[in-house]
Amino acid sequence: MATVSTPTPIVRARDEGERRWFYGGGVHTWKATSEETGGAFLLFEDEMEQGKTTPLHIHPESDETMYLLEGEILIHLDGSENRVSAGGLMVAPRGVPHAFMVLSKTARLLCLHTPGCAQAFYLDASEPMGNAPGEARTVDFSRIAASGKKNGGIEILGSPPFARG
């Protein structure tokens, strides 16, 4: 059972928030944590590069909402594919299979998990960003799957469903 705390007021500028390298690729900037929102939600910004692809997965206990700030992604949601560009939105209710692939050179989105119970997964499947610019990072889907089994928050269903060609 997740620990629920009292929500606290939050004000963060664009570049503020803990920055973490996610083992699936991309840099997360945590804007509002589960502790700060009393367990209501987790909100982070995700900056990714072209080609970043997620495996097909579900979030068994939270709904995932992605709002594209910049760039374009291809979303596979419950068996259908759609392009989403800046200003677009994707909502994957808990238990609905989904995956995405970054189509543009870079993409930046806001990711909202409601409730914030997926935070333990993201924390374990990432590491704090160091101070060295351009640090080499390796995508490690096995670490993501292991974190999902250990912490909940995500269940990997299979390989990315996108056709490569």
Centre a 10 Å sphere on the Cβ of residue 143 and count the other Cβ atoms it contains.
16
Here the CATH number for the domain that contains residue 146 is 2.60.120.10
Q: Give a yes or no: residue 53 inside a domain.
A: yes
DSSP-derived secondary structure letter, 126: E
Task: Extract the tokens encoding 37.
Answer: 């929102």
- Please check whether residue 63 lies inside any domain of the structure: yes
Amino acid at 94: R
- Residue 7: the pLDDT is 82
Instruction: Name the E strands within the chain.
Output: 18-22, 27-32, 42-49, 56-58, 63-70, 72-77, 80-85, 89-92, 98-102, 106-114, 126-128, 155-158
What pLDDT score was predicted for residue 4? 59
pLDDT in the model for residue 165 = 39
On whether residue 163 sits in a domain, the answer given is: no
What is the number of domains present in the chain?
1
- Indicate whether 4 belongs to any domain: no
Predicted confidence (pLDDT) per residue in 109-163, tens digit = 999 999 999 999 999 999 998 755 556 678 888 889 899 999 999 999 998 888 6
Buried-exposed string 96-131: b where 16+ CB fall within 10 A, e elsewhere: ebbbbbbebeebbbbbbbbbbbbbbbbbbbbeebee
In a domain, 38, yes or no: yes
In a domain, 29, yes or no: yes
Residue 10 counted as domain residue = no
What does the pLDDT look like over 35-87, one tens digit per residue?
999 999 999 999 999 999 999 999 999 999 999 999 999 999 999 999 999 99
Q: Domain for residue 83, yes or no?
A: yes
Q: What is the CA radius of gyration of the chain?
A: 15
Range of the domain at 114: 18-131+138-158
